[in-house]
A = this chain, B = another copy of it.
Amino acid sequence: MSDAKGGVDLGGTKIQAVVLDRSNEVLGQARNPTPTSGGPEGVAAAIVETLVEAAGAAGLEAAELTAVGVGSPGAVDSGSGVVASAGNLPGWDSPFPLGPTLQAALDTKVALGNDVQVAIEGEFALGAGRDFSSLLGVFWGTGVGGGLVLDRRPWLGRGAAGEIGHMVVRKGGAICTCGRRGCMEAYAGRAAMEARARALVKEGEPTKLFEIMEERGRTRLQSGVWARALKREDPMAVALVDRAIGALGAGIASAVNLLDVEAVVIGGGLGTRLGVPYVKRIENAMGPHLFVPERPPTVALAALGDLGGAIGAALLGEGA
């Protein structure tokens, strides 16, 4: 048995695995697309394969890992290892015992957690949050996820805390991907931003967004597409990102007014891709809404980058 542990970030489009040593240095990593067929069993098999690859890159067998942590979307029951309501995973129509399935296949302990929460705990332990005792993490991607560390401990509420994307920033406002109105995510989530861009194009507004998407061989406005369109100063991209930043500023400031945390860490696909200048813009957009503006929280970009989710998951496995 080695001292190494595994971590997996299970996403709607990709599965990222890492193997960390005792000091949490990355010994190996691997990434594969999330299978689009085969349902939960297929996803579980792809997780095992990706983890075996990452272990191989570290010169290890998967069974040599002391433990494996998995950050999963959906409703994760960390006790039973069952994942439900994972709508953005293909064919995940009913609750599936992901933890036990992986444990049997890998022959090592497996711990499950919510993907966003796990990534935020990673930032707290090793990344941009490591100097603070309280932290709000905001993951700006397809949706807007969140998570909390309060007094050095994760705050999960009754299991569903952290839904900062569904804080109301404009009562009666835009329809959100969740079906409700005025949520922060209705303005700032990449899926909502894309839907808005498609609607504006239908109304005849010009943009290079979809041209760039096709150039890049994509069918969705992924973070890189937005980044390129901003670089080309595409007016629609600029306007929609401005609108997103305004919503993020109001929503995050509201959360800070309620919780008075020491730090806010911005991650996620768009956050990581757009980087520090846009984190600074979010910080500026929070300013007018902060109730104690003379003592704002530190606002920082997530420091663990693309591997953050998997690294956070590996730390979860440590306690398994």
Give A residues with C-beta under 8 Å from B: 134, 146, 148, 150-151, 155-164, 166-173, 178, 180-182, 246-247, 250-251, 253-255, 257-262, 288-289, 291-292, 295
Contact = CB atoms under 8 A, between A and B. Distances in A.
Given A155-B150, A250-B168, A258 B161 contact: yes
Contacts of A163: 257-258, 260, 291
Contacts of A292: 160
B182 A258 contact: no
Contacts of A182: 250, 289
B260 A180 contact: no
A160 B289 CA distance: 14
Given A178-B291, A259-B161, A288-B180, A254 B168 contact: yes
Instruction: Point out which of A180, A258, A260, A261 has the most chain B C-beta atoms below 10 A from its C-beta.
Output: A258
A171 B250 contact: yes
The complex is assembled from copies of this chain, and their number is 2
Contact of A171 (B146, B148, B159, B246): B246
A168 B251 contact: yes
23 contacts: A134-B157, A150-B155, A157-B259, A158-B260, A160-B295, A161-B258, A161-B259, A163-B258, A164-B257, A166-B289, A166-B291, A167-B257, A168-B251, A168-B254, A169-B169, A170-B173, A171-B247, A178-B291, A180-B291, A181-B288, A254-B254, A255-B258, A258-B258
A32 B287 CA distance: 40
B168 A261 contact: no
A157 B247 contact: no
The 7 closest A-B pairs by CB, nearest first: A157-B260, A167-B254, A161-B260, A163-B257, A168-B250, A166-B291, A171-B250
Contacts of A295: 158, 160
Nearest to A169: B171
Instruction: Point out which of A161, A173, A262 has the most chain B C-beta atoms below 10 A from its C-beta.
Output: A161
